[in-house]
Structure 1
Amino acid sequence: MTTIISNSELAATINHKGAELISLKRIASDTEYIWEGNPKYWGKHSPILFPIVGTLKNNSFTYKSGTYELTRHGFARDMNFDLISHDNNEVVFSLSSDELTFDKFPFEFELRVIYTLLNSELNIKYQVINKGSDIMPFSIGGHPAFSLPKKFEDYSLQFETEESLTCYQLENDLLSEKTKKIDLLKNNLPLTYPLFENDALIFKELESKQIQILESSIPILNFKFNHFPNFGLWTKSNAPFICLEPWVGYSDVLNATGNILEKEGIQILENNSSKEFNFSIEIL
């Protein structure tokens, strides 16, 4: 099942499974900005990563006296969300803990996802609510894939600030201590497939909080992520898309203890409290 919100400029389609954004179109030109999900390359569009981002060591974590198995990026992307409210330009989805989630993640929670259109911008808000009497560790992230219909090398990323990017490399899907520097040229990173030969580019921190996608040196999309300290860039070989991934958290490091409370980058939410995280996609 899907739900559509629209205004005079944009139309967004969200799948109730995973509360996943599967289409964002400019109405006047019928231009699609979200990756189509062709399984030849990657069968998803914009999954929500919760309650972890990335991979846990041994795909498991410990909490108090228990051990829990949790696969890469968590379970939210594969679960059906409830539709809470819907009007022309906003829709609210909710996922709540149940017996199935307790087996993997022993915490009472509600995850609300709010999509709001305002002029030529789509805002995505994650609201994480701890409904239990104990603290709740968690991570959360977005994984939107943007369609690149022209030659991949015709595109580049324009960062908000001039900075030298420190990329942490993966080893068996875990974060190693190996890093590489990526120097921007006037804030610009040209896209090439060899950039991603070792999988995703993972940044524990960025000075920039906005990144533009440029097509033939012309900005087509502005991506804003003020509430997210970590970030990932990803594509697959010869795939016509780029993922801009705002994260709160990332994969386990190689020497992780497995204790979820000691996990690098983890968020701790007090009982009966909530946190909100926003990012937005502005069509230029």
Structure 2
Amino acid sequence: MNTTISNSSLKASIKQAGAELFSITDHQNNEYIWEGNPAFWAKHSPVLFPIVGTLKNNTYTISGKEYQLPRHGFARDMEFELIAQTENSAVFSLQSNTETLQKYPFEFELQLIYTLEEKELTIGYKVINKGNHPLPFSIGAHPAIALPGAFEKYSFKFEKEELLKYNLLENDLISDRTEVLEKTANVVHLRYKLFENDALVFKTLASNSITILENNIPYVKVHFKDFPSLGIWTKEQAPFVCIEPWFGYSDTAGNSGDLFQKEGIVVLEANQTFDSKFSIQILQ
């Protein structure tokens, strides 16, 4: 089941499965979200919760007891409930249940709030700790921006002048190896070779946004002021690129396994609420 919201400039469509955004179109019917062709990647823009990335051995511990979670957690594969809708907004909810408690022993509600304003879609995340104990979690976005032209015609412009140092992944875990993106006037030219070791993982960034340029003309801008970390990813020859704002990232090789001690984890106190948001702005 799908939900569509719209305004005078854009239309956005969201699946109830995973509350996953799968389309942003303008009035010329230009599509800005990856179509989900499984030959490359069958997703569009999944939510990553209650972990981002991969756990060492897909395992973590709480009070010495072992649990298992798949890469990026389980929320993206679960059915959300549509709890509110207007012409230009929609709110989806996932609540802990017997299935989630077996692999993640915490009571929670996760809401995804989609709002269209002019040529911008804002995606809000609300995590509510419904239990009586602290709740450790990571949350992240994974929107795949469609690139209709040749990949090499696109580039990134980072908001701020900074050293673009990123960590490399090894066996899906964060390694100590780092590299620096080459740039000219804050612009990084895209090429598939950048992603030969999987995603580029920026533990911290000064920039609060990235603009995708098509033939040096602004195309799409992703704003992520609330998020401390960022992943950038694509697959060989795929006509999309993912700009992924994150709270948290994959385990490091030396991680203890204790979820409360995991690098980048957010700990939400009992009966408290966490809010964050990012947005996708169409510039054409």
- In structure 2, the partner of 1:46 is 45
- In structure 2, the partner of 1:2 is 2
Alpha-carbon separation, structure 1, partners of 2:173 and 2:149: 33
Does the aligned pair in 2 maintain the 1:164–1:184 contact within 8 Å?
no
Give the counterpart letter for 2:104 in structure 1.
Answer: F
- In structure 1, the partner of 2:234 is 235
- In structure 1, the partner of 2:188 is 189
SS in 1 for 2:103: coil
When normalised by structure 2's length, the TM-score is 0.99
Does the aligned pair in 2 maintain the 1:148–1:240 contact within 8 Å?
yes
Alpha-carbon separation, structure 1, partners of 2:240 and 2:44: 10
Shift of 1:164: 1.6
- In structure 2, the partner of 1:172 is 171
Does the aligned pair in 2 maintain the 1:162–1:184 contact within 8 Å?
no
Give the counterpart letter for 2:73 in structure 1.
Answer: G
Does the aligned pair in 2 maintain the 1:48–1:142 contact within 8 Å?
yes
Query: 1:183-212, CA deviations, whole angstroms, 9 ceiling, x for partnerless residues?
Result: 321010100000000000000011100110
Shift of 1:256: 0.4
Do residues 16 (structure 1) and 20 (structure 2) align? no
Alpha-carbon separation, structure 1, partners of 2:54 and 2:119: 34
Query: 1:193-238, CA deviations, whole angstroms, 9 ceiling, x for partnerless residues?
Result: 0000000000001110011010000001111001100000000000
Alpha-carbon separation, structure 1, partners of 2:280 and 2:8: 16
Alpha-carbon separation, structure 2, partners of 1:171 and 1:183: 21
Query: 1:69-122, CA deviations, whole angstroms, 9 ceiling, x for partnerless residues?
Result: 101000000000001011100000000000000011000000000000011110
- In structure 2, the partner of 1:155 is 154
Give the counterpart letter for 2:95 in structure 1.
Answer: S
Alpha-carbon separation, structure 2, partners of 1:279 and 1:229: 12
- In structure 2, the partner of 1:138 is 137
Map 1:1-284 onto structure 2 (within 5 A): 1-27=1-27, 29-284=28-283
Alpha-carbon separation, structure 2, partners of 1:32 and 1:162: 30
Identity of aligned residues (%): 55
Alpha-carbon separation, structure 2, partners of 1:193 and 1:47: 22
Alpha-carbon separation, structure 1, partners of 2:65 and 2:107: 16
Q: RMSD of aligned C-alpha atoms?
A: 0.6
Does the aligned pair in 2 maintain the 1:128–1:275 contact within 8 Å?
yes
Q: CA 1:254–1:65 in 2, change beyond 3 Å: closer, same or farther? A: closer
Alpha-carbon separation, structure 2, partners of 1:114 and 1:260: 27
Aligned pairs, how many?
283
* Structure 2, gaps ≥5 residues long: none
Give the counterpart letter for 2:190 in structure 1.
Answer: L
Give the counterpart letter for 2:46 in structure 1.
Answer: P
* Structure 1, gaps ≥5 residues long: none
